[in-house]
Amino acid sequence: MLQNAQHIRLIAFDVDGVMTDGGLYLTDSGEEFKRFNSLDGQGLKMLKESGVDLAIITGRTSRCVELRAHHLGITNVYQGVHDKLACLQKMLAKLQLPLDAVAFMGDDVMDLPVMLRVGLSISVPQAPQIVRERAHYITERSGGHGAVREACDFLMSAQGTLNAQIASYLA
């Protein structure tokens, strides 16, 4: 697993249950909103600065995901995707990256086609057993509560870039 992590050049994330706690919050008027974790955001920024590209591939469509991605500088954002593997393969063709240079973090069965083919698959503890059994790495933290940060720190640690990212805050 550590060896796989050393070669990752891009990580793609599902949103609900990974970047959020999986709850779907709806107002009486039908507007959807999500709760994101600020620690996750910092981890994503540091991971991007360390040279790993970021992507979001999610089945739902939400304006707040678009805004969150914009604030974090994530330009590869795909919403309303039903075939996540086809979406990823199309993106990788443009980026000229092989599947084994990609990590994917998901939490449910619709993520399995991607998780079974990438170089590093990551999931969260609340994912169904069938998903956890097929993940290379399962975070200790739950989705929306630092799981993304844990995955980012794991990748940077495996690639030897974590200390350099933290050093700027210690100076």
107 is in an annotated binding site: yes
3-state secondary structure 100-129: HHEEEECCCHHHHHHHCCCCEEEECCCCCH
40 marked as binding residue: no
For CA atoms 75, 81, 84, 87, the dihedral sign is negative
Show binding-site residues for Mg(2+).
Answer: 14, 107
Indicate the annotated binding residues for substrate. Answer: 16
Instruction: Give the residue numbers of the binding site.
Output: 14, 16, 107
